[in-house]
Amino acid sequence: MTDKKTSDQGILWEVFVQSKPGIAHKHAGSLHAHDAEMALKNARDVYTRRKEGVSLWVVPANAITASTEADADSFFDPADDKVYRHPTFYTVPEGVKYL
């Protein structure tokens, strides 16, 4: 049943929207489409209808490899006590945006 639904609607795509030229594309959400071209159009219709962006990326969700919950301790906790890794020990020149 679930499989049939999935094939009717196409596969899942993750959508990334760039809100202004020069800055990073940001994850906006996901959608269904049968191929990349349709995914782009769907992304345009679903995620940029209120002028949210100037550029779009769509990525098949199954192309994304995600870290797992089980890895969380070993992956992320060691960074907890390493405050010196934050770039807060020097001054950022004026005019530098989106750092």
Partner 1 sequence: MTKDEALFEFLLRTGDNGLVLAQRLGEWCGHAHQLESDIALTNVALDNIGQARMALTEAGKVEGKGRSEDDLAFHRTEMEFRNNLLLEQENGDFAQTITRQFLFDVFQFELLSGLKSSSNEFLQSFAIKSLKEVTYHRSLSSDWMVRLGDGTELSHDKMQNALNLLWQYTGELFEKTEADDILIADGVIPDLEKLKESWDDIVGQVIKEATLEIPDTKGFMATGSRRGEHTEFLGYILAEMQYLPRTMPEAKW
Binding positions for partner 1, rule: CB under 8 A: 9, 31-34, 37-38, 41-42, 44-46, 49
For 31, residues 6+ apart whose C-beta sits below 8 A from its C-beta are 12, 13, 15, 39, 42, 43, 46, 47
- Two structure tokens written together for 71: 């890895």
Q: How far is CA 91 from the centre of its chain?
A: 29
Q: How far is the CB of 54 from partner 1 (least distance, A)?
A: 14
Q: How far is the CB of 44 from partner 1 (least distance, A)?
A: 8
Residue 18 or 30 having the CB closest to partner 1 = 30
Q: How far is the CB of 45 from partner 1 (least distance, A)?
A: 4
Residue 25 or 38 having the CB closest to partner 1 = 38
Length of the chain: 99
